[in-house]
Chains A and B, each alone.
Chain A
Amino acid sequence: MFLEIRQFQEAYERILHNSSSHSSCQLVIFVSCLNIDALCASKMLARLFKKQLVQLQLVPVFGYSDLKQHFEKLDDNINSVVFIGCGGMIDIETFLEIDAQEYLLEEGPEPKFKRGIYILDTHRPWNLDNLFGSQIVTCFDDGTVEESLQEQREAYEKLTKLEQEQQDDSQESDPSDTEDDEEEDTIDDERSSDEESGRKRNAETDTRRQRKARRKMIDKYDTVLEEYYSQGTTVSNSISVQVYSLISSLGETNLQYLWLTILGASSLDTAFPQIYNQLQPLLQDEVKRLSPTESAKTPETLTLNIQPDYYLFLLRHSSLYDSFFYSNYVNAKLSLWNENGKKRLHKIFARMGISLSIAQENWLYMDNKIKRELGTIFDKNLERYGLQDIVRDGFVRTFGYRGAISASEFVESVTALLEIGQVSDPDELSKHNDSILLENNKELSEAFSRRERKWVSNFWLSWDALDDNVALMRRGIKHAQYLQRSVFNTGVAVLEKKLIKHLRIYRLCVLQDGPDLDLYKNPLTLLRLGNWIMECCAESDDKQLLPMVLASLDQETETYLVAGIAPRYPRGIDDVTSRKTILNNFSVAFQQIAAETGAKVRIDNFESSIIEIKKEDLSPFLEKLTLSGLL
Chain B
Amino acid sequence: MSLPPNLQQSFSPEEIQFIVENEPIKIFSRITTRPSVRQRNSSQNSARWKLVTADDEPLNNLVAMQTTEVALWVALLLKQQGKCSIVAPSWLTARQLQKYTDYERKHPERFSDLPWNWLVVAQLLFIKAADDLHDPVHVLRGIVQDLREIRLSKISQGLKQLNESHLQLDNLSLLEINELRPFILGVMNKLKQVHSSLTTDQDDEDVF
Contact = CB atoms under 8 A, between A and B. Distances in A.
Nearest to A401: B138
Interface string B164-179: 0000000000000000
Nearest to A51: B81
Contacts of A293: none
A300 B130 contact: yes
B80 A51 contact: yes
Contacts of B137: 300
B138 A51 contact: no
B108 interface: no
B82 A51 contact: yes
Nearest to B81: A51
Interface string A47-73: 000011100000000000000000000
Contacts of B138: 298-300
A52 B77 CA distance: 11
A257 to B, nearest CB: 13
Interface string A282-326: 000000000000000011100000000000000000000000000
Contacts, number: 12
Q: DSSP majority for the A interface?
A: loop
Interface residues of A, number: 6
B115 interface: no
A52 B83 CA distance: 10
A245 to B, nearest CB: 20
Given A298-B136, A300-B136, A53 B81 contact: yes
Nearest to B126: A300
A202 B126 CA distance: 89
A339 to B, nearest CB: 53
A298 B137 CA distance: 10
Interface in B103-142: 130, 136-138
Interface string B77-89: 0001110000000
Contacts of A51: 80-82
Contacts of B80: 51
Contacts of A53: 81
Contacts of A300: 130, 136-138
Contacts of B130: 300
Contacts of A298: 136, 138
B129 to A, nearest CB: 13
A404 to B, nearest CB: 18
Given A51-B82, A299-B138, 4 more contacts: A51-B80, A52-B81, A53-B81, A298-B138
Interface of A: 51-53, 298-300
> Which 9 residue pairs are nearest across A and B when measured between Cβ atoms?
A298-B138, A299-B138, A300-B138, A300-B137, A51-B81, A298-B136, A53-B81, A51-B82, A300-B136
12 contacts: A51-B80, A51-B81, A51-B82, A52-B81, A53-B81, A298-B136, A298-B138, A299-B138, A300-B130, A300-B136, A300-B137, A300-B138
